[in-house]
C-alpha cells in the first residue's frame, strides 16, 4: 500500500518534470554541438576531446528514456491493469518511434540529401540499395549490418529492442529492491565487457547498463529518497561531460566509460528537487518537446546552412541552420509525432477512463526516444 502511494506521488512529481526536460535538452544539445564542432573543424583541446559529447548525449537519452517509460508503464497499469501489458506498450512505442523516422528517412533518401557525417567538414551519402533502405525504415540496421540512411539512426534500433524488455523490468520493480537492481546493473556490466572481449561486436548488452540506470532511478523514486538541492543536477551536467571528454582523450574505453556516468545520473535524478528558474524551465520544455525532430533533422540543417550555402555570410548560414532545424522539427512534431502518438494510444486502448479523483491517472506526455 505504501509503495502504491509512493508511486502515485512519483507520477505527480514526474508529470511535468523540469529536471527531465533539462536532461533531454542537454542530451540533444550535446549531439548537435558535437556535430557542429566536427563539421566546422573546431580544434580539439589537448585534454578534452569534444567528439565524445555526442555519445554522452546518446547515453543520457538512454537513461532518460527508461525512466520516462517506467512512469508511462505505471500509468498504463493504473488505467488498464497488467492485461496485455507488453503488447499495448510496444504498440504505443512503435507509433511513437517509427512514423517520424520513416518520414525523415524516405525524404532524405528520395531527395538525395546526404545523411552521413559530418566528416572533414562535409555531410555525404553512400550508395544504398533497397535492402539498406528497408533496414533503416524498420530500424534493424544493427541486425542486417547495413549502413543507415541517416547516421543518427544508429541509436534507435537499440532503443526499440530495449523496449521489448521494459515491461518485464517494470514488473520486477514491484518485486526487487534497489540493491537487487544495483546487483543486476553490476552483472550487466560484467556481461557487456565479457561479450565485447569475446565477440568484439556491439549488441544490446553493451548499452544495457545505461538503460538499467534509468530503471534504477525509477525504482529509487518509489522509495522517496531525500530531496537534495537541484544544484547537484546542474553541477553533474557540467562535470560529467568534462570528465567524459577527458576519459575519451586518454583512450579509456568507449561506451564502457559511460556506464558509471549513467549510473551516477540514475542515482542522482530521484534525489534532487525540481529546477525552479523560469528561463531554464521554459527553454528546457521547448527543446525537450521538439528534441526527437531536432535529433533527426539537425544534420540536414547543418548541410543546408553551412555546406550548400558555403561562402554565404555567417549570419545567413546560422539563420538557415536554426530555421531549418527548429522549423522542421516543430512542423514534424505537430503534423506527425502528436497525431501518431494519439493513434497508438487509441489502438492500445490507452484513452482516459472515469476513476476517482484520488487515483486519476495522469495524461500521457510525449516522451521521445
Residue 61 lies in a domain: yes
Question: For residue 124, which phi and psi values (nearest 5 degrees)?
Answer: -145, 170
Residue 129 lies in a domain: no
Dihedral of CA atoms 148, 185, 269, 237 in degrees, nearest 10, equals -60
267-312, pLDDT tens digit by residue? 999 999 999 999 999 999 999 999 999 999 999 999 999 999 999 9
Domain total in the chain: 1
Residue 331 lies in a domain: yes
Residue 364 lies in a domain: no
pLDDT at residue 67 greater than cutoff 60: yes
Q: Which domain holds residue 85?
A: 2-121+155-345
Question: What's the 3-state SS for 154-191?
Answer: HHHHHHHHHHCCHHHHHHHHCCCCHHHHHHHHHHHHHH
Residue 136 lies in a domain: no
Q: What percent of the chain has pLDDT over 90?
A: 68
Residue 145 lies in a domain: no
Residue 363 lies in a domain: no
What pLDDT score does 224 carry? 66
Compute the distance between CA of residue 224 and CA of residue 206 in angstroms, rounded to an integer: 30
Rg, the chain, Cα only: 20
Q: Is the pLDDT higher at 161 or at 351? A: 161
Q: ω before 322 within 30° of 0 (cis)?
A: no
Residue 226 lies in a domain: yes
pLDDT at residue 356 greater than cutoff 60: no
**SS3 for 272?**
strand
Amino acid at each position: 500500500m505504501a509503495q502504491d502511494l509512493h508511486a502515485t506521488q512519483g507520477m505527480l512529481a514526474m508529470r511535468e518534470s523540469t529536471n527531465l526536460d533539462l536532461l533531454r535538452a542537454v542530451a540533444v544539445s550535446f549531439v548537435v554541438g558535437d556535430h557542429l564542432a566536427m563539421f566546422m573543424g573546431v580544434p580539439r583541446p589537448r585534454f578534452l576531446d569534444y567528439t565524445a559529447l555526442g555519445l554522452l548525449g546518446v547515453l543520457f537519452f538512454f537513461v532518460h528514456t527508461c525512466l520516462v517509460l517506467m512512469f508511462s508503464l505505471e500509468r498504463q497499469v493504473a488505467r488498464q491493469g497488467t492485461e496485455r501489458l507488453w503488447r499495448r506498450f510496444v504498440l504505443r512505442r512503435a507509433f511513437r518511434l517509427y512514423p517520424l523516422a520513416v518520414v525523415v528517412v524516405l525524404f532524405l533518401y528520395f531527395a538525395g540529401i546526404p545523411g552521413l557525417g559530418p566528416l572533414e567538414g562535409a555531410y555525404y551519402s553512400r550508395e544504398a540499395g533497397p535492402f539498406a533502405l528497408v533496414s533503416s525504415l524498420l530500424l534493424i540496421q544493427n541486425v542486417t549490418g547495413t549502413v543507415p540512411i541517416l547516421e543518427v539512426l544508429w541509436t534507435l534500433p537499440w532503443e526499440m529492442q530495449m523496449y521489448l524488455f521494459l515491461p518485464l523490468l517494470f514488473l520486477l520493480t514491484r518485486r526487487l529492491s534497489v540493491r537487487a537492481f544495483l546487483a543486476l546493473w553490476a552483472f550487466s556490466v560484467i556481461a557487456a565487457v565479457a561479450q565485447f572481449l569475446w565477440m568484439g561486436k556491439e549488441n544490446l548488452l553493451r548499452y544495457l547498463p545505461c538503460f538499467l540506470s534509468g530503471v534504477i532511478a525509477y525504482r529509487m523514486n518509489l522509495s522517496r529518497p531525500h530531496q537534495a538541492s537541484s544544484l547537484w543536477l546542474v553541477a553533474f551536467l557540467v562535470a560529467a561531460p568534462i570528465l567524459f571528454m577527458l576519459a575519451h582523450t586518454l583512450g579509456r574505453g568507449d561506451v564502457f566509460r559511460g556506464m558509471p556516468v549513467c549510473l551516477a545520473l540514475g542515482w542522482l535524478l530521484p534525489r534532487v528537487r525540481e529546477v525552479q528558474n523560469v528561463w531554464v524551465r521554459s527553454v528546457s520544455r521547448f527543446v525537450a518537446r521538439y528534441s526527437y525532430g531536432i535529433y533527426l533533422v539537425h544534420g540536414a540543417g547543418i548541410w543546408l546552412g553551412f555546406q550548400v550555402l558555403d561562402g554565404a555570410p555567417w549570419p545567413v548560414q546560422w539563420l538557415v541552420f536554426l530555421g531549418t532545424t527548429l522549423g522542421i522539427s516543430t512542423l514534424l512534431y505537430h503534423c506527425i509525432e502528436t497525431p501518431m502518438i494519439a493513434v497508438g494510444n487509441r489502438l492500445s486502448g490507452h484513452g482516459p477512463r472515469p476513476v476517482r479523483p484520488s487515483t486519476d491517472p495522469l495524461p500521457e506526455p510525449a516522451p521521445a526516444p
